[in-house]
Structure 1
Amino acid sequence: MRRTSFANWPCSIARTMDLLGDWWTPLVLREAFYGIKRFDAFQQELGIARNTLTDRLRRLVDEGLMEKRAYQTDPVRYDYVLTEMGRDFFGVLAAMNSWGNRWLSGEQGAPVVFHHDRCGHEAEAAVVCADCGEPMTAEDTRPRLGPGYPPHLAERPDVQRRFTA
């Protein structure tokens, strides 16, 4: 059965989920942030099937989050390195880690914490307004139509209801 593509939906969350596709892709990106670069190391750390890993790495390269760099010529072998686009995904993983630490850790505590080298402290990701620096919460933040929302959809009554208070 073919899955629905969200790549052209007027929603960045849906588009991101379409790019990720499944639970393996964020875990491959996590390993890349942990310093993994080689196919065999990804496979060993994740316990992922080789064909699945090949597919996920190919997609991450095709979508621009990683690039392949040859480190050996005979036979050709590659490192998989995060691009600027891929490195920018760190905030998403950090937010997921913070949420998981709060709600899924259990009595033992957080399994992974992040150390912020600049200030020297253990840190949790926080979503703050880029303009005023205040925390953004579901209670004080609402979605609005952006400039990229398709005009023919923006006129629909159901869309109007969704994006107006």
Structure 2
Amino acid sequence: MTDLTHRFTADSVGRALDLVGERWSLLILREAFFGVRRYGEFARNLSIPRPTLSARLKTLVEAGVLTRVEDVPDRPEYHLTQAGRDLFGAVVTLMQWGDKHLAGPEGPPILLRHKDCGEISETYVACGHCGGAVTTDKVTPEPGPGFR
């Protein structure tokens, strides 16, 4: 078996969590996924302290997850970049895990209706080659091109 102990110091999960693993960052992204664009809307919807919101937005912009657009003077908007949109699957998967394991007896607070088929969406992680489910018992970690 290949020694993969390096994964604790140079793994992509750790790098991603360094950027978006903090609670407020994920909640800001959730709001952005559902159309929130303005600072005041983020502040109101999240009841987040304004200094915290400013710091998180700045970090997400600097990392290329959001972009600050100033079409109207003194009314900037924050738009998801492609890197930000690419986080949607991760956030939806986390949301659905919470729905399954943490929701109350009344059920999940938000459902996602798939526009293509009209049904309530239930996502899963699938292989891009064969379409099979990717689960812990169906993958084997091995060194990638960034292996040290």
TM-score by length of 2: 0.90
1:122 aligns with 2:113: no
Alignment of 1:19-98 (within 5 A): 19-73=19-73, 76-98=74-96
1:110 aligns with 2:111: no
Residues in 2 aligned to 1:128 and 1:65: alpha-carbon distance in whole angstroms: 24
Q: Percent identity?
A: 38
User: What do you get for the CA RMSD once the two structures are aligned?
Assistant: 1.1
The equivalent position to 2:142 in structure 1, one of 137, 141, 144, is 144
Please state how far the C-alpha of 1:63 moved relative to its aligned partner.
0.2
After the TM superposition, which segments of 4 or more aligned residues of structure 1 sit over 2 Å from their partners?
none
Residues in 1 aligned to 2:18 and 2:140: alpha-carbon distance in whole angstroms: 23
Q: SS where residue 67 of structure 1 aligns?
A: strand
Is the 1:94–1:124 contact (alpha carbons within 8 Å) kept by the matching residues of 2?
A: no
Please state how far the C-alpha of 1:34 moved relative to its aligned partner.
1.1
TM-score by length of 1: 0.81
Task: Select the structure with the greater relative contact order (CA < 8 A; seq sep ≥ 6).
Answer: 2
Q: SS where residue 51 of structure 2 aligns?
A: helix
Q: Which runs of 5+ in 2 are unaligned?
A: 1-8
Which residue identity does 1:65 align to in structure 2?
A: V
Q: Deviations over 1:101-154 (max 9, x none)?
A: 11111211111111110111101220111111011111222221111111xxxx
Choose 1 or 2 for highest CA Rg: 1
Q: Which has the higher strand share?
A: 1
Residues in 2 aligned to 1:27 and 1:124: alpha-carbon distance in whole angstroms: 21
